[in-house]
Chain A
Amino acid sequence: MSDSLRNVTLSVGQITQLLKQTIEQSFYGISLRGEISNFRPASSGHWYFQLNDEAATISAVMFKNRHWKLSFVPKDGDVVIVVGSIGIYEKRGTYQIVCESMEQAGTGDILALLEQRKRLYEKKGYFAPEHKQPIPKDPKRVGVITSPTGAAVRDIIQVMTRRNDTIDIIVLPAPVQGEDAAAIIAAQIQAANRLKVADVLIIGRGGGSLEDLLPFSDPKVIEAIYASEIPIVSAVGHEIDWAISDFVADLRAPTPSAAAELVCSDKRARLEELASYRQSMTLAIRGRITLAQTLAHRFSLPVMSDYFMRTLQTIRMSLDYAKLSIGQQMHERIVRSKHALELVSGQLHNLSPSAILARGYSITMLEKTNEVVRESSQLASGDTVAIVLANGKLKATVVDGNR
């Protein structure tokens, strides 16, 4: 016993206070493992229970604000690991552990095992993208391997009824947790392939604890998925849950409902698309026919008549114009010719001998030779000459030539 306490008489309050300070300062944030018993959730939502092992028991509490995000509800017999702090309650003289977090013992082990197995299959090439098959766009029948009484199958049927109710569904019943689940799931995958029951398979289940989901990480199931010739969609648990089937399957879906959406096309969307293609073709043929009509119309009687008349009109006008033109030109030519004639006539007239004679001149010709006399040397005295006058002619004898 500590010397400072030896000769002192403490009150109950004092000793309790000492214990409280000592313990609460030292035992906070500790990790404790034990089996749950006497689990009793209060109406306030807080959890009260005992944690035991062979040697001892300790009271425990986990408040609502700490446990609401746990993925499981503990029950008597569960072995858990809690992290919390010890509290001492003076009024009651009791102590308990106030838990901040809780996990199932062995969860850590299970996860480690799964990670190891996943790495193994990854190395073997089971998750390789080249091995994955495309999910058919037009399945006639979808196979669902799941519990016939679970929420997963109900959700899948609901989604497919809403989205595309022309696709058949066949349920291949299998337990989705427990010891025999893995063997039966694997056997149903093989049966689906052997009997060729569907164009695509969904294997899945609703949410659960890590242990609950284990069958979907079982080697039997992994091998069956890998060997399946029918494409497989793995839909295990909620969005954050996973199993190895998710990696070896041809497609992973976060939930069974999502898987249903992935395997079936939207009927309404297809009908709309179809309507728009119908319209597209109808508009196109209408356009084509209109074009043909327009072209044909060019050769209709009224259009051709009109064209012919216009062409004729043009020709007629040319003709009229040509006629007019010829007339005018002829007229001009005649006028020009007349003038030319007059001019020449005038000239001719001036040049004619009669005109010269009319001015008093006469033409003398040597009778014997009929030469016209221009020079007196042509004549000798005594020659007979004929003299042509403007009016008449006379004969004369040259009296004296050479003047």
Chain B
Amino acid sequence: MPYETDIKRMEEIAELLRDNQTTLDKAVALFEEGVKIANRVEKELTEIERKVEILLNPVQETEENTIRTEPFEAL
């Protein structure tokens, strides 16, 4: 789920929670949904470990369709 979509949903939820027309049990359910989203996004931002790799496929091999890589470190 793209970050922008998650942010938008949390904004919507906050808006609905501020609305007095929202029933209490609906509000609690929405809040729970919002917290779940926030937790997931936070996890995605902090726990993902990225890889820095270099492509090994030779340029001439235009038929090869599998990606071959190895870790890369800049000099």
- Inside 8 A of A273's CB, which chain B residues have their CB? 7
Scan B40-70; emit 1 where CB is below 8 A from any A CB, else 0: 0110111011111111010110100111010
- C-alpha spacing A194/B66, complex, angstroms: 10
Evaluate contact between B55 and A168: CB separation under 8 angstroms: no
Evaluate contact between B48 and A171: CB separation under 8 angstroms: no
Evaluate contact between B57 and A170: CB separation under 8 angstroms: no
Binding site for B on A (CB under 8 A): 137-138, 148-149, 153-154, 157-158, 165-174, 184, 187-188, 190-191, 194-195, 197, 265, 267, 270-271, 273-274, 277-278, 280-282, 284-285, 287-289, 291-292
Also in contact, A274 and B20, with CB within 8 A (given A169-B52, A197-B55): no
Evaluate contact between B67 and A137: CB separation under 8 angstroms: no
- C-alpha spacing A194/B69, complex, angstroms: 15
In the complex formed, the residue of A with least CB distance to B39 is A278
In the complex formed, the residue of B with least CB distance to A270 is B45
Q: Nearest 9 pairs between A and B by C-beta?
A: A284-B17, A154-B74, A187-B59, A166-B48, A285-B31, A277-B10, A171-B54, A280-B14, A281-B34
- Inside 8 A of B48's CB, which chain A residues have their CB? 166
Which residue of the partner chain, among B31, B34, B49, B65, contacts A195 with CB atoms under 8 Å? B65
- Inside 8 A of A277's CB, which chain B residues have their CB? 7, 10-11, 14, 38
- C-alpha spacing A87/B58, complex, angstroms: 57
Evaluate contact between A167 and B50: CB separation under 8 angstroms: yes
Chain B interface size band reads 35 or more
Q: DSSP majority for the A interface? A: helix
Evaluate contact between A292 and B24: CB separation under 8 angstroms: yes
Instruction: State the Cβ distance, B33 to closest chain A Cβ, in Å.
Output: 10
Which residue of the partner chain, among B2, B22, B52, contacts A157 with CB atoms under 8 Å? B52
Evaluate contact between B72 and A265: CB separation under 8 angstroms: no
- Inside 8 A of A170's CB, which chain B residues have their CB? 52-55, 69
- C-alpha spacing A67/B35, complex, angstroms: 62
- C-alpha spacing A149/B41, complex, angstroms: 35
- Inside 8 A of A158's CB, which chain B residues have their CB? 74
- Inside 8 A of A169's CB, which chain B residues have their CB? 50-53, 72
In the complex formed, the residue of B with least CB distance to A188 is B59
- Inside 8 A of A137's CB, which chain B residues have their CB? 2-4
- C-alpha spacing A172/B69, complex, angstroms: 10
In the complex formed, the residue of A with least CB distance to B75 is A149
- C-alpha spacing A287/B59, complex, angstroms: 61
Scan B5-29; emit 1 where CB is below 8 A from any A CB, else 0: 0010011011001101010100110
Evaluate contact between A288 and B24: CB separation under 8 angstroms: yes
